[in-house]
Amino acid sequence: MSRPYNFSAGPAMLPEPVLRQAQEEMLDWNGSGMCVAEMSHRGKEFMSIAEQAERDLRELLALPEGYRVLFLQGGASSQFAMVPMNLSGRTGKADYLNTGSWSKKAIAEAHRFCAVHVAASTQPERFVRAPTQAELALSEEAAYLHYTPNETIEGVEFPYIPETSAPLVADMSSTLLSRPIDVARYGMIYAGAQKNIGPAGLTIVVVREDLLGEPLSGTPTMFDYRVHADSGSMYNTPPTYAWYLAGLVFQWLKDLGGLEGMGEINRRKAEKLYAAIDGSSFYANPVEPASRSWMNVPFTLANPELDADFLAGAKDAGLLTLKGHRSVGGMRASIYNAMPEAGVDALIAFMAEFERTKG
Ligand code: PLP
């Protein structure tokens, strides 16, 4: 029997071949007699898994020379503090773009560590679009510019990479690995793993080497990027099993044609779902078309009294977790890498049928 399609915003579906391989290897990884979760992180078996995963991630991202890849814990939310702790010291000031719920949280945390300048905010318009480059009031002295290329809750995605003379820092939690990116444009990228990368508990940081090494005084050892970079992310016990599963996801992505191949599939999935929403007078998405996310598609029903019916019917049809975030209501379909195109087709068919019978 096929599994239902899970549209959760995270933790999200993992690719089925990855889960099957993990299941096969659960009791005995590669003749070691151990489950990966039972291995010493410094033993040769786990070291080979860790190194292969990093090589594959570097290849997928076409990472230029001079970047370090860290496999950390603490989620993207810890990065909201680690970024200013490690990167703001040069001037004590940082620029932030306020484009949705997650950038707002990053800004609130940064205030604890440095002077924050909000260089653009779309909050007065209720976060329905990304600001344009011309709208960014960047400051001269910023040690970095932080932004959220994909706002998971509002479903808003930047259609461009901001131009800035300061190092660019991006919270790519809900977009990393969904399509090719030009890493050289960034000083640092971070992402919680639980959307496109693997299970929760792993946080990926990609940081340019020259930005390491000047943390604010008092920065805890575990919050210092240099410590993790110098120890190959093994300063303490890393999230070994999550790292291993992420490695299987990287191999799955490579087999699909890397980020080019994945990006094409994701483009098709998003385009057909938005077309279905726009082609109906019963469903609506509030985001300006140029800023619509490929990953998170919020939508409302013309009659919110039907929301519960919609969710119950969807569940019966094998379409799970479509309820929108509590802060915005309505529905949200998260269609990350592991959501097959057939899952999006099934959702579109269900939506049409629901509108026909209940709309
Ligand atoms: N940033 C973005 C864009 C997110 O989507 C999320 C989680 O959904 C977070 C940050 C917070 O991530 P974590 O729960 O890993 O701290």
Q: CATH number for the domain including 239?
A: 3.40.640.10
Last residue of a domain, which of 255, 279, 301? 255
Identify whether 65 is part of a domain: yes
Instruction: Say how many Å lie between the first and final Cα of the chain, rounded.
Output: 31
- Report the atom number in ligand 1 closest to the C-alpha of 150: 3
Closest residue by Cα to residue 186 from 197, 203, 202, 172: 172
CATH code at 321? 3.90.1150.10
Q: Measuring from each residue's beta carbon to the nearest atom of ligand 1, which residues come in under 6 Å?
A: 10, 75-77, 102, 148, 152, 171, 173-174, 192
- Do 70 and 136 lie in one domain? The reply is yes
Q: Is 77 annotated as a binding residue?
A: yes
Q: Provide the 8-state DSSP code for 323.
A: B
Query: Do the interacting molecules here have an ipTM over 0.90?
Result: yes
Q: What is the DSSP string of 136-195?
A: ----TT-S-EEE-SEETTTTEE-SSPPP-SSPEEEE-TTTTTSS---GGG-SEEEEESTT
Q: Is 98 annotated as a binding residue?
A: no
Chain centre to alpha carbon of residue 254:
18
Looking at 104, 195, 269, 323, which residue is catalytic? 195
Looking at 56, 171, 252, 269, which residue is catalytic? 171
The protein residue with its alpha carbon nearest to ligand 1, atom 3, reads 173
CB 324 within 8 A of CB 7: no
Q: Is 42 annotated as a binding residue?
A: yes
pLDDT tens-place string over residues 335-357: 999 999 999 999 999 999 999 99
- Residue 79 alpha carbon to ligand 1 centre in Å: 10
Closest residue by Cα to residue 268 from 344, 196, 332: 344
CB 12 within 8 A of CB 334: yes
Distance, in Å, from the CA atom of 169 to the CA atom of 114, rounded to the nearest integer, reads 15
Q: At what angle do helices 240-255 and 44-61 cross, to 10 degrees?
A: 40
Which tokens sit at 18?
Answer: 């990855």
Strands of 99-175, DSSP E: 115-121, 145-147, 150-151, 156-157, 168-171
Identify whether 31 is part of a domain: yes
Distance, in Å, from the CA atom of 106 to the CA atom of 236, rounded to the nearest integer, reads 25
The protein residue with its alpha carbon nearest to ligand 1, atom 6, reads 173
Identify whether 6 is part of a domain: no
Looking at 102, 243, 252, 294, which residue is catalytic? 102
- Do 165 and 80 lie in one domain? The reply is yes
The 10 Å Cβ neighbour count of residue 54 is 21
CB 29 within 8 A of CB 39: yes
Cβ neighbours of residue 357 closer than 8 Å, sequence gap 6 or more: none
CA angle 278, 283, 288 (to 5 degrees): 50
- Report the atom number in ligand 1 closest to the C-alpha of 78: 16
- Do 198 and 343 lie in one domain? The reply is no
pLDDT tens-place string over residues 297-327: 999 999 999 999 999 999 999 999 999 988 8
| For ligand 1, mutation pick of 105, 174, 202 (most atoms within 8 Å of CB) | 174
- Do 93 and 166 lie in one domain? The reply is yes
- Residue 161 alpha carbon to ligand 1 centre in Å: 20
| For ligand 1, mutation pick of 72, 73, 77, 195 (most atoms within 8 Å of CB) | 77
Identify whether 5 is part of a domain: no
- Residue 102 alpha carbon to ligand 1 centre in Å: 7
102 is catalytic: yes
- The amino acid that residue 75 corresponds to is G
Residue range 105-118: mean pLDDT, rounded: 98
CB 188 within 8 A of CB 170: yes
- Segment holding 284, helix H or strand E: strand 283-284
- Do 266 and 251 lie in one domain? The reply is no
Whole-number pLDDT of residue 136: 98
- Do 244 and 262 lie in one domain? The reply is no
- Do 33 and 163 lie in one domain? The reply is yes
- Do 132 and 168 lie in one domain? The reply is yes
Identify whether 270 is part of a domain: yes
pLDDT tens-place string over residues 10-64: 999 999 999 999 999 999 999 999 999 999 999 999 999 999 999 999 999 999 9
171 is catalytic: yes
- Pairing mode of beta strands 168-171, 145-147: parallel
Residue located via tokens 């385009």: 271
Distance, in Å, from the CA atom of 114 to the CA atom of 170, rounded to the nearest integer, reads 17
Side-chain half-sphere of 225: how many Cα atoms within 13 Å? 30
pLDDT over 60 at 290, yes or no: yes
- Do 171 and 44 lie in one domain? The reply is yes
Identify whether 176 is part of a domain: yes
Identify whether 272 is part of a domain: yes
| For ligand 1, mutation pick of 8, 82, 105, 152 (most atoms within 8 Å of CB) | 152
> Is 0.90 topped by the overall pTM?
yes
Last residue of a domain, which of 205, 232, 255? 255
Number of structural domains (the chain) is 2
Distance, in Å, from the CA atom of 352 to the CA atom of 359, rounded to the nearest integer, reads 9
- Do 215 and 287 lie in one domain? The reply is no
Q: Is 152 annotated as a binding residue?
A: yes
For the CA atoms of 330, 333, 334, 340, what is the dihedral angle to 10 degrees?
Answer: 170
Domain that holds residue 330: 258-358
Distance, in Å, from the CA atom of 167 to the CA atom of 146, rounded to the nearest integer, reads 9
Residue range 208-220: mean pLDDT, rounded: 95
Helices (H), 71-199: 75-87, 101-110
Please give the mean pLDDT across all residues of the chain. Answer: 97
Identify whether 1 is part of a domain: no
195 is catalytic: yes
Whole-number pLDDT of residue 326: 84
- Do 221 and 295 lie in one domain? The reply is no
- Do 216 and 303 lie in one domain? The reply is no
Last residue of a domain, which of 240, 255, 270? 255
pLDDT over 80 at 1, yes or no: no
Distance, in Å, from the CA atom of 53 to the CA atom of 55, rounded to the nearest integer, reads 5
Using pLDDT thresholds of 50, 70 and 90, give the confidence band for residue 89: very high
Closest residue by Cα to residue 157 from 139, 141, 173, 143: 173
